[in-house]
């Protein structure tokens, strides 16, 4: 790899420059609106680079989820340049340039790490304070989380600019924190979770210092804002790495600090991996389904098979299991109820065919969702195949894309109908997300 000054990257601040001839990023791969924003900023005399995950993904030959622009223009200056621009973010001020096709180009002003003496007295305010101190491109690269997330693409000469050794790490398929991992994790413990996420998404290994720092700093993640953790967790499942990452988090001692004392077992991780496979096949992830999957194994141990337990026992158990995590993450009652219904639906399925109230259960919208949970469980553990087959006779495979609509028991149709005829092929009409 062409590396002028590669041994000086972090030292005297000279970046590694990878010219157009030595990488595969072409303007054709970059969204046209993003290009327009880059060119307009440049023509107006500002610096502007493509930054972050977009550059990383393009260099890896992957389709970026979105493109971000870094500039030395302040959010206010960006707003004056683009009629279709809105400033967003209470804490991290960003400019969003919106286009008619709903495409949004996110434009962030270069930031830097504040000096210790600049920080507010209250340590809890450090992270958000640091988010809003403007700096140079180089300083902006160093305040980012991982080397592979800190590469810039220069629209002037189509080169890639690397201040932090990200190109080397990309080539070695290695995830490395910028700077001292212990310090960077103490600054923002959510980075530990992000480290596991990117390693899993890209199939990268964790750099040794990064890995060791996670072992040591794991308890710190309990201090991160639950709302941020919740969002990053959902992001894991959207990217179909929830199972792999939580398994890894458990192995590294991170999981209980992440999830309010939660400990997973092998069956759970296998189930979550099945869930990720289901998401990969195009079924959007829903939080209640994730919650139910997280607690299914424990729930089964407590009340399935249901010879002795009643439905109200199952409800109570589900509540007990879900309460602490839902309280911690302030998960809305609706989601909580949906997760509880899924678990009790699973309980009913576990009891086998021919029980009292079966007709009503089959007409309940939760039936198909609980069937999907059972299918995933069978695939994950190999247990319950006959049970699943018995229920599948009632209407083929559960329609995979129909969303849970719990909390509205059996409102659909009072007429007694045969369950087989009641199954409408929701999966065929439901819009699938574009495959990514």
Q: What residues make contact with Mg ion under the rule CB under 5 A?
A: 53
Distances (CA, A) of 232 to 112, 235, 242, 246, 347: 23, 5, 10, 12, 30
Is 180 one of the annotated active-site residues of the chain? Answer: no
Binding partner at 144 among ligand ATP, Mg ion, none, C-beta below 5 to 8 Å by kind = ligand ATP
Q: Are strands 104-109 and 152-154 parallel, antiparallel or unpaired?
A: unpaired
Q: Considering only residues 33, 96, 144, 247, which one is a binding residue for ligand ATP as defined by CB under 6 A?
A: 144
In the complex, what is the shortest distance from the CB of residue 232 to Mg ion, in angstroms, rounded to a whole number? 13
How many whole angstroms from its chain centre is CA 216? 24
Angle at 56 between CA 272 and CA 4, to 5 degrees: 145
Three-state DSSP at 323 gives: helix
293 is an interface residue for ligand ATP by CB under 6 A: no
> Rounded CA gap, 167 and 25, in Å?
13
Q: Considering only residues 69, 150, 275, 303, which one is a binding residue for ligand ATP as defined by CB under 6 A?
A: 150
Rounded to whole angstroms, the maximal C-alpha distance in the chain is 79
| 234 touches 287 (CB < 8 A) | yes
Please choose, out of 112-120, 183-191, 344-352, 358-366, the segment that lies near ligand ATP by the rule CB under 6 A. 183-191
Whose Cβ is closer to Mg ion: residue 108's or residue 177's? 108
Please choose, out of 39-47, 186-194, 350-358, 389-397, the segment that lies near ligand ATP by the rule CB under 6 A. 186-194
In the complex, what is the shortest distance from the CB of residue 319 to ligand ATP, in angstroms, rounded to a whole number? 34
Please choose, out of 144-152, 159-167, 252-260, 337-345, the segment that lies near ligand ATP by the rule CB under 6 A. 144-152
Binding partner at 150 among Mg ion, ligand ATP, none, C-beta below 5 to 8 Å by kind = ligand ATP
Q: Considering only residues 174, 191, 298, 348, which one is a binding residue for ligand ATP as defined by CB under 6 A?
A: 191
Whose Cβ is closer to Mg ion: residue 68's or residue 273's? 68
Structure tokens at 26: 């072409």
Binding partner at 145 among Mg ion, ligand ATP, none, C-beta below 5 to 8 Å by kind = ligand ATP
> Rounded CA gap, 157 and 47, in Å?
13
111 is an interface residue for ligand ATP by CB under 6 A: no
Q: Are strands 94-98 and 104-109 parallel, antiparallel or unpaired?
A: antiparallel
145 is an interface residue for ligand ATP by CB under 6 A: yes
Whose Cβ is closer to Mg ion: residue 146's or residue 377's? 146
Q: Which of 57, 72, 140, 145 is catalytic?
A: 145
> Rounded CA gap, 425 and 40, in Å?
49
In the complex, what is the shortest distance from the CB of residue 63 to ligand ATP, in angstroms, rounded to a whole number? 10
Chain residues 5-64 in contact with ligand ATP, contact rule CB under 6 A: 52-53
- What residues does 50 pair with on adjacent strands? 69, 153
176 is an interface residue for ligand ATP by CB under 6 A: no
Residues 117, 149, 175, 147, Cα dihedral to 10°: -50
Residues 145, 148, 154, 160, Cα dihedral to 10°: 150
DSSP H/E element including 251 = helix 242-251
Interface positions with ligand ATP (CB under 6 A): 52-53, 65, 68, 144-145, 149-150, 188, 190-191
Residues identified as active-site:
66, 68, 145
């Amino acid at each position: 790899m062409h590396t002028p000054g590669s041994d000086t990257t972090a030292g005297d601040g000279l970046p590694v420059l990878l010219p157009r001839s030595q990488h595969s990023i072409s303007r054709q791969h970059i969204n046209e609106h993003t290009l327009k924003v880059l060119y307009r900023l440049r023509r107006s005399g500002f610096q502007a680079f493509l930054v972050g995950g977009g550059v990383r993904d393009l260099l890896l030959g992957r389709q970026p989820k979105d493109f971000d622009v870094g500039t030395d223009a302040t959010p206010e200056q960006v707003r004056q340049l683009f009629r279709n621009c809105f400033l967003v973010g209470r804490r991290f001020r960003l400019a969003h340039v919106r286009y008619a096709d709903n495409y949004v180009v996110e434009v962030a002003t270069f930031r830097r790490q504040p000096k210790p003496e600049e920080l507010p007295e209250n340590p809890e305010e450090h992270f958000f304070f640091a988010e809003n101190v403007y700096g140079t491109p180089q300083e902006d690269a160093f305040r980012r989380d991982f080397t592979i997330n800190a590469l810039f693409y220069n629209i002037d000469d189509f080169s890639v600019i690397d201040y932090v050794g990200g190109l080397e790490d990309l080539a070695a398929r290695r995830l490395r924190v910028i700077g001292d991992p212990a310090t960077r994790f103490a600054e923002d413990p959510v980075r530990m979770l992000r480290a596991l996420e990117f390693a899993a998404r890209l199939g990268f290994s964790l750099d040794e210092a990064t890995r060791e720092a996670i072992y040591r700093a794991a308890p710190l993640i309990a201090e991160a804002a639950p709302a941020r953790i919740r969002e990053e967790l959902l992001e894991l499942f959207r990217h179909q790495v929830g199972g792999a990452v939580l398994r890894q988090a458990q192995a590294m001692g991170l999981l209980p600090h992440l999830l309010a004392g939660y400990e997973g077992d092998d069956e759970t991780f296998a189930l979550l991996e099945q869930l990720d496979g289901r998401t990969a096949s195009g079924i959007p992830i829903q939080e209640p389904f994730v919650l139910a999957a997280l607690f299914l194994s424990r729930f089964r141990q407590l009340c399935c098979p249901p010879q002795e337990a009643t439905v109200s026992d199952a409800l109570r158990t589900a509540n007990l299991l879900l309460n602490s995590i839902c309280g911690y993450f302030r998960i809305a009652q609706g989601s909580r109820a949906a997760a509880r219904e899924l678990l009790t639906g699973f309980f009913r399925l576990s009891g086998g065919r021919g029980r009292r109230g079966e007709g009503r259960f089959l007409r309940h919208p939760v039936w198909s969702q609980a069937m999907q949970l059972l299918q995933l469980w069978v695939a994950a553990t190999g247990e319950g195949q006959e049970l699943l087959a018995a229920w599948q006779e009632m209407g083929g495979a559960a329609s995979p894309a129909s969303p849970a609509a719990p909390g509205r028991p059996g409102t659909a149709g009072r007429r007694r109908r045969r369950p087989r005829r009641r199954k409408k092929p929701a999966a065929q009409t439901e819009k699938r997300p574009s495959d990514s």
